[in-house]
Amino acid sequence: EDQVTQSPEALRLQEGESSSLNCSYTVSGLRGLFWYRQDPGKGPEFLFTLYSAGEEKEKERLKATLTKKESFLHITAPKPEDSATYLCAAYNDYKLSFGAGTTVTVRA
């Protein structure tokens, strides 16, 4: 059965303190790895799609990378507005299989 595991569950950072979130996956027929940001009480907001090992994508202070078994979301010099839950999801032909997320809190 498809499995997506995120670590850590929670991450508390000081403003400017860079860190990485991990997403490991066991998915048959993987066709892409997605990252979303979710604020409390809202729907997930699309960030990135990665399709092949070695691929990297960046958006502002976020950079996502992909290997054959895991993906990383690097947050560089975070600001308080980066506080959110970050979800990764594995995509096969039609559905996304999500991890439980990493809740990031950035203190000023």
Partner 1 sequence: DTGVSQDPRHKITKRGQNVTFRCDPISEHNRLYWYRQTLGQGPEFLTYFQNEAQLEKSRLLSDRFSAERPKGSFSTLEIQRTEQGDSAMYLCASSLVSGPEQYFGPGTRLTVT
- The residues that bridge with 104 in the sheet, in sequence order, are 11, 84
Complex with partner 1: residue 10 or 77, whichever CB lies closer: 10
Footprint of partner 1 on this chain (CB under 8 A)? 4, 31-32, 34, 36, 41-46, 49, 87, 89, 91, 94-101
DSSP letter (8 states) at residue 94? S
Q: How far is the CB of 108 from partner 1 (least distance, A)?
A: 26
Complex with partner 1: residue 78 or 101, whichever CB lies closer: 101
